[in-house]
Amino acid sequence: MSTIPYKIYLEESEMPKAWYNVRGDMKKKPAPILNPATLKPVTLDELSGIFCRELAEQELDDTSRFIEIPEEIRNFYRMYRPSPLVRAYCLEEKLQTPAHIYYKFEGNNTSGSHKLNSAIAQAYYAKKQGLKGVTTETGAGQWGTALSMACSYFDLDCQVYMVKVSYEQKPFRREVMRTYGAKVTPSPSMETEVGRRINAEFPGTTGSLGCAISEAVEAATSQEGYRYVLGSVLSQVLLHQSVIGLETKAALDKYGIKADMIIGCAGGGSNLGGLISPFAGEILRGEANYEIIAVEPASCPSLTRGKYAYDFCDTGKVCPLAKMYTLGSGFIPSANHAGGLRYHGMSSVVSELYDQGILTARSVEQTSVFEAAEMFARVEGILPAPESSHAIRVAIDEALKCKETGEEKNIVFGLTGTGYFDMVAYQKYNDGEMTDYVPSDEELQKSFAKLPKVD
Amino acid sequence: MSTIPYKIYLEESEMPKAWYNVRGDMKKKPAPILNPATLKPVTLDELSGIFCRELAEQELDDTSRFIEIPEEIRNFYRMYRPSPLVRAYCLEEKLQTPAHIYYKFEGNNTSGSHKLNSAIAQAYYAKKQGLKGVTTETGAGQWGTALSMACSYFDLDCQVYMVKVSYEQKPFRREVMRTYGAKVTPSPSMETEVGRRINAEFPGTTGSLGCAISEAVEAATSQEGYRYVLGSVLSQVLLHQSVIGLETKAALDKYGIKADMIIGCAGGGSNLGGLISPFAGEILRGEANYEIIAVEPASCPSLTRGKYAYDFCDTGKVCPLAKMYTLGSGFIPSANHAGGLRYHGMSSVVSELYDQGILTARSVEQTSVFEAAEMFARVEGILPAPESSHAIRVAIDEALKCKETGEEKNIVFGLTGTGYFDMVAYQKYNDGEMTDYVPSDEELQKSFAKLPKVD
């Protein structure tokens, strides 16, 4: 019998007191974000019109290695953190693998995912700046729920533009947000100029994250005392999410476990970036080595098939441009795609780390993802979010490889959240009606052709 | 700053190794359950036709104080236990109360409630006896989900009769059960004799727990290698749920906290009975005193307005009779009732403890319950199950009394689960469409008139 418990909980006193900014350890920094009007690096003043001042500062800070977590945020973290690092004894048994599998479980809070880690930080800085409220977009609904919870805690108004297809498929997500006092609008709506324009251009569209972002930015910049907040992609979000990786590393260190492999699902990159940050930092500083794998859906393969180029972060082209692995800001994953992770681009920090070879990437098809999800749910007792299940898929694949080779690798993956509000996707899978889709090269080339020209 | 953390987690080594059977400490025992055919106390052999042998033994054992938890069950418990005892710092701050509020949170598992504690025990004994599968009923769906998870873990067939109104209102609950491999049938169905009879007698009925129990019992006794299992009411279930109270007491003792008041919601009594058992034991042994409060819905008030009498446990009258506080086995709460806890009777152990004055009871109306739920969700970051919110309501009321009197009481309540699959009820509340209902005395008298005549 091993002495490693099923769930490793840090003490509250062992929780991180500062976020880790991996950019501080990167010799080659991610390319600067550009003002869409001038195509010049955006200034702090320009960025402060969209984001809260302190968040704009964090966005542009690529030198500080650590940024203190304000006490108010640490107190909120204590309501649902530290999150457990779980030893997947039952999954190992089921797979009959010599590998040791660990997962960092971020789903034990009502938002159901890791998104709350950044939501509370962004709400805090908005409150501190004396704002009335914030606007945002949400796709699957995890980010919108997290932000609603955070705003309710700090008594801020919260306006959420929810991708229309999710708004209709996930009425209960909407109700959770309403219970936390948020105003939820299906996107594209008729409430913003950009929404009306998109509705006119694509009648009957069920929306996309890119559209919803444009609407939320417009709503923020056209109301006095409001700012826009975003749940992924941004460097500030990765900074806040570093709490995941810091706790993971502290828990592993506490038990003298050296990770061989770290696996995370990748949509915009917030969970992956947060999870891997401290490990990537060790690689960058030449202190250790890890195999880091980003897992993305085959139907939205920004890292494995995208271009590393400057692109718009939103469909309406109102946000700064970022250099990132991208499928083009007009790319919308096939309607049969049920598994989240549908953003066209990838965090510029993750993109640059990937370009430098600090991590590798793999794409997986959704039926195999739901197979892995079902197996995991049955043996580990947690019904995972479709997003998280991308990481489960690859963790299982790697554990099975260890079975063949006899290697006792320590595999660590991020279980970003639960699937309780994704039962429409599970139903499709249970009914045998789930299919796979991989975009053709032609489809991607057509999308790449619309990338902005930036020198 | 207090030294008590936000969340008290026991070490895995501190988890209970035996369940506590409060009946062992009761001088006056709960009245025996009766065979419905003979109206004589049911024998072990008779009971073993319905339940697994070892569970039947536990049901009838009113003398053993402790019963060892088999290692296989303890290993499963480790996947989601120990559950945290949370200090509700944020709720205290919101209420500006000098009281210290603690809650034992049982919702951190995919079934979303404490029900898994007994489900895994019942599935284990079924597997050990070499059975093929089990049948059960579910109302809100928590028990059915828990049993599906437990059966999937032990590779047992699981047949769930789900009250029709819930089956229709909660398609996602059904999908979770299906993901765990269970067969879910809306009740009353046309698959059993009793179902067909009830459908004929009450055309268009949306079902009740009592009907679903009858169907599940018939399904168990008419299939070779099947037994029936039940998620509440039974003494064996309270035994398994004592793990809640034992952990709670261990966590309080670890930090030198003496509870003044223990509050639990009460439907069939499984959570309440489990939570209070070790505390009630201390009262029974004259070692300590606590104020224990059972909270029930005003629309289904078995303790506060029921009769203490022998009654049928199910509508079809196929189960043993139990002496309990009951509204009559034909009582069905008003259709506007959204808050769970809709069983007509109360665990005979809880009933007898109540009759002996070990605990008191209080009934609350559902709009005030959802008000409390919303406040709790906003400050404590957990969206509670409607059931659990009954306890929250009274905990808040008591904390507000402390604010008036200045008393620093230690209030402990059971937060049995999360409300993620109860968003239809929350939507009703968010839309201002929730109403209250209290059955009239005439309605109850009419129901009492049908109680069986037992000397």
CA distance B109 to chain A (A): 6
For A224, other C-beta atoms within 10 Å of its C-beta total 6
Q: CB contact, 8 Å: B433 with chain A?
A: no
Which chain B residue has its CA at the smallest distance from A72's CA?
B90
pLDDT of residue A302: 97
Nearest-5° Cα angle at A126, A124 to A127: 65
CA distance A32 to chain B (A): 36
Q: Which of B338, B413, B341 lies closest to B382, judged by CA?
A: B413
Q: CB contact, 8 Å: A371 with chain B?
A: no
pLDDT of residue A1: 42
Distance CA A69, CA A16 (A): 8
Give chain B positions within 8 Å (CB) of A370: none
Q: CB contact, 8 Å: A415 with chain B?
A: no
Verify whether the Cβ–Cβ distance B380 to A79 is below 8 Å.
yes
Tell me the residue ranges of DSSP E strands in B287-365: 291-297, 307-312, 321-326, 360-364
The mean per-residue pLDDT over the stretch A299-325 comes to 93
Considering CB atoms only, which of A149, A178, A426 is closest to B179? A426
Q: Which residues, at least 6 apart from B229, have a Cβ–Cβ distance to it below 8 Å?
A: B51, B55, B119, B122, B123, B126, B134, B135, B136, B147
Which chain A residue has its CA at the smallest distance from B93's CA?
A153
Cis peptide before B82 (omega within 30 of 0): yes
Query: What's the CATH code, domain B20-68+114-228?
Result: 3.40.50.1100
Verify whether the Cβ–Cβ distance A181 to B80 is below 8 Å.
no
| pLDDT band for position A339 (cuts 50, 70, 90) | confident
Q: Which residues, at least 6 apart from A160, have a Cβ–Cβ distance to it below 8 Å?
A: A135, A136, A137, A138, A144, A147, A148, A177, A182, A183, A184, A185, A216
Q: CB contact, 8 Å: A180 with chain B?
A: yes
The mean per-residue pLDDT over the stretch B41-51 comes to 95
| pLDDT band for position B1 (cuts 50, 70, 90) | very low
Cis peptide before B188 (omega within 30 of 0): yes
Mean pLDDT across chain B? 95
Q: Are A416 and A114 in contact (CB under 8 A)?
A: yes
CA distance A28 to chain B (A): 40
Verify whether the Cβ–Cβ distance A426 to B152 is below 8 Å.
no
Give chain B positions within 8 Å (CB) of A5: 11-12, 78
CA distance B12 to chain A (A): 7
Determine which of B73, B83, B110 to mutate to test the interface with A (most A C-beta atoms within 10 Å): B110
CA distance A435 to chain B (A): 17
Q: CB contact, 8 Å: A418 with chain B?
A: yes
Q: CB contact, 8 Å: B90 with chain A?
A: yes
The mean per-residue pLDDT over the stretch A385-405 comes to 98
Give chain A positions within 8 Å (CB) of B8: none
Q: CB contact, 8 Å: B374 with chain A?
A: yes
Q: What are A2-38's pLDDT values in tens digits? A: 589 999 999 999 999 999 999 999 999 999 999 999 9
Verify whether the Cβ–Cβ distance B427 to A374 is below 8 Å.
no
Residue B27: is it exposed, middle or buried by C-beta count within 10 angstroms (0-12/13-18/19+)? exposed
Which segment of A393-407, B15-29, B304-318, B358-372 scores lowest on mean pLDDT?
B304-318
pLDDT of residue B333: 84
Give chain B positions within 8 Å (CB) of A378: 149, 152-153, 180-181
In this prediction the ipTM stands at 0.93
Verify whether the Cβ–Cβ distance B179 to A109 is below 8 Å.
no
What single-letter DSSP state applies at residue A291? E
Q: Which of A415, A421, A426 lies closest to A390, judged by CA?
A: A415
Q: CB contact, 8 Å: A172 with chain B?
A: yes
Task: Report whether CATH 3.40.50.1100 matches the domain A7-14+81-112+236-448.
Answer: yes
Share of chain A above pLDDT 70, in %: 99
Q: Which of residues 236-275 of A touch B (CB under 8 A)?
A: none
The mean per-residue pLDDT over the stretch A294-321 comes to 93
Q: Which of residues 91-110 of A touch B (CB under 8 A)?
A: 108-110
Give chain A positions within 8 Å (CB) of B12: 5-7
Q: Which of A291, A293, A292, A322 lies closest to A308, judged by CA?
A: A322
Which segment of A148-152, A212-216, A303-307, B25-29 scores lowest on mean pLDDT?
A212-216
What number of C-beta contacts closer than 8 Å exist between A and B? 118
H runs (alpha helix) in B180-316 = 193-201, 209-221, 235-254, 270-284, 302-305
Considering CB atoms only, which of B110, B172, B379 is closest to A382? B110
Distance CA B201, CA B214 (A): 15
| pLDDT band for position A337 (cuts 50, 70, 90) | confident
Give chain A positions within 8 Å (CB) of B89: 75
Give chain B positions within 8 Å (CB) of A110: 377, 381-383, 418, 420
Q: CA Rg, chain B, in Å? A: 20
Backbone angles phi, psi at B268, to 5 degrees: -85, -15
CA distance B22 to chain A (A): 29
| pLDDT band for position A346 (cuts 50, 70, 90) | very high
Q: CB contact, 8 Å: B377 with chain A?
A: yes
Verify whether the Cβ–Cβ distance B78 to A12 is below 8 Å.
no
Backbone angles phi, psi at A122, to 5 degrees: -70, -40
Verify whether the Cβ–Cβ distance B180 to A5 is below 8 Å.
no
Verify whether the Cβ–Cβ distance A109 to B6 is below 8 Å.
no
Which segment of B101-115, B160-174, B242-256, B283-297 scores lowest on mean pLDDT?
B160-174
Q: Would A7-14+81-112+236-448 and A20-68+114-228 be classified into the same CATH topology?
A: yes
Give chain B positions within 8 Å (CB) of A175: 423, 426-427, 430
Verify whether the Cβ–Cβ distance A383 to B179 is below 8 Å.
yes
Q: CB contact, 8 Å: A41 with chain B?
A: no
Distance CA B117, CA B128 (A): 17
Verify whether the Cβ–Cβ distance B379 to A108 is below 8 Å.
no
Q: Assess whether pLDDT exceeds 70 at residue B19.
A: yes
The mean per-residue pLDDT over the stretch A58-82 comes to 97
The mean per-residue pLDDT over the stretch A70-80 comes to 95
| pLDDT band for position B314 (cuts 50, 70, 90) | confident
Domain residue limits, chain A = 7-14+81-112+236-448, 20-68+114-228
CA distance B183 to chain A (A): 12
Backbone angles phi, psi at A82, to 5 degrees: -60, 145
Distance CA A247, CA B240 (A): 34
pLDDT of residue A2: 53
Verify whether the Cβ–Cβ distance B421 to A418 is below 8 Å.
no
Q: With H, G, I as helix, E, B as strand and everything else as coil, classify residue A389.
A: helix
Considering CB atoms only, which of B76, B152, B423 is closest to A172? B423
Which segment of B24-28, B42-46, B260-264, B332-336 scores lowest on mean pLDDT?
B332-336
Q: What are B415-425's pLDDT values in tens digits? A: 999 999 999 99
Considering CB atoms only, which of B90, B110, B424 is closest to A383? B110
Q: Assess whether pLDDT exceeds 60 at residue B2.
A: no
Considering CB atoms only, which of A9, A78, A421 is closest to B9? A9
- Strand A261-265 to strand A410-415: parallel, antiparallel, or no bridges (unpaired)? parallel
